[in-house]
Each structure stands twice: as structure tokens, then as C-alpha cells.
Amino acid sequence: MNNHAVRLGASVLALTAVFATSGCAEDAKTDDAKSSPEASRPAASSTPSAPSTPSPSPSSTVVPRTTDAAIARYLTAMRALSRGDLKTLCVIAGPAAKKAEDEGFGKCRTTFAITRSMFSATQLKALRTATVDKSKVTRRANGNVDIPARAVIADVRFTAHDLSDMTLSYRHGNWFIID
């Protein structure tokens, strides 16, 4: 990848995260969102409850507001990117994707398809088994979790220019990439 493509890919990936609450949430609503087990989890109770505000996630299960849960959600997004599962990726990265769209980038799925094409086959394969070094992850006072690219442990090294540093925020009972 040339430097321009790498920077664009990192920017698009970072910005795409904003779409979880809007642009990609609409994509997810039009698809069979329950077909992706990583995008949603079954409800904890058998009695569905109507949310007071629309949830960007098709899931009604509340996940823990922990750093470990944020890391798990991040890894789900990275694995979705590696497989080309843009539906799951757009649910998780919806808030960032919306922000990118507002700044002139395309819809979430289109933008992530372009972003994915900027990674080599070796990088995409490495994302399938990547982990995160929790000691390099920061939890902010506001509860958001920052996962820098240098925290990703994989068969290939990722930098902020390749993968981008990400911030996850807890919203509607789950973690979403917001920046």
C-alpha cells in the first residue's frame, strides 16, 4: 500500500466507526440483522421490552460496561473487517461511519469495502486471529475505551497508519467504535 492509500484507509476506518448510531444502523435494519451472531446476541429474557430510544444494535442484550467487553467488541469488528462482513462492521462502527459520511465519505458499507481493499491479504488474515494487549488500552474518565493500533497483537505489525487508533463508547447496552 502506498502512503496515501494507507492514510486514507486509516482515516476511513477511524471515521467509519461513527456510523453505528445512524448510517449503518439503517443498513442493519434493512438486512436480516440476526443472521450475524457477532453483531447481536439473543435477548437475556424471553419477554421483549420496548426501548425508550431506538437502539443502533439489533441486540437487546446488555453487555458489561467493562474494558474487556470493549476489547471483545473491537476484536469482533476487526474479524468482521477481515472476513468482509460489512454488516457486522457497520453495526459496531456505526457512530464513526456516520461521522465519516457527514464529512463527505460514502455510506458505511461502501466506505468499508474501499477500506478493506487497502489491506493486504496477509494483513486481513492476521486480523482473524489478532488479540489486544490490555496493558496498552486506556479507559478514560468518561468511560470510553481507547485501543491504539500498537495494542493489536497479530502475525503482522499494525501501526496507526494501517489500522488506526480507535475509541469505543458504551451506548444502548453495548460498545461502539466512535472514533
pTM here?
Answer: 0.68
Of the chain, the percentage scoring pLDDT greater than 90 comes to 55
Residue 19 has pLDDT above 80, yes or no: no
Task: Say if CB 139 and CB 169 are below 8 A apart.
Answer: no
In a domain, 45, yes or no: no
In a domain, 44, yes or no: no
Q: What is the pLDDT of residues 32-76, one digit of tens each?
A: 333 333 433 333 333 333 333 334 444 458 899 999 999 999 999
In a domain, 35, yes or no: yes
What pLDDT shows up at residue 34?
Answer: 33
- Cβ partners under 8 Å of residue 78, min gap 6: 127, 130, 152, 163
Total tally of structural domains belonging to the chain: 1
Q: What is the pLDDT of residues 91-106, one digit of tens each?
A: 999 999 999 899 998 8
Task: Say if CB 99 and CB 57 are below 8 A apart.
Answer: no
- Give the HSE-up count for residue 166: Cα atoms under 13 Å, Cβ half-sphere: 34
What pLDDT shows up at residue 60?
Answer: 59
In a domain, 22, yes or no: yes
In a domain, 53, yes or no: no
In a domain, 23, yes or no: yes
In the numeric block, which cell numbers belong to residue 62?
446488555
Which residue range forms the structural domain that includes residue 135?
Answer: 3-39+62-177
In a domain, 52, yes or no: no
Q: What is the pLDDT of residues 132-167, one digit of tens each?
A: 999 999 999 999 999 999 999 999 988 888 888 999
In a domain, 108, yes or no: yes
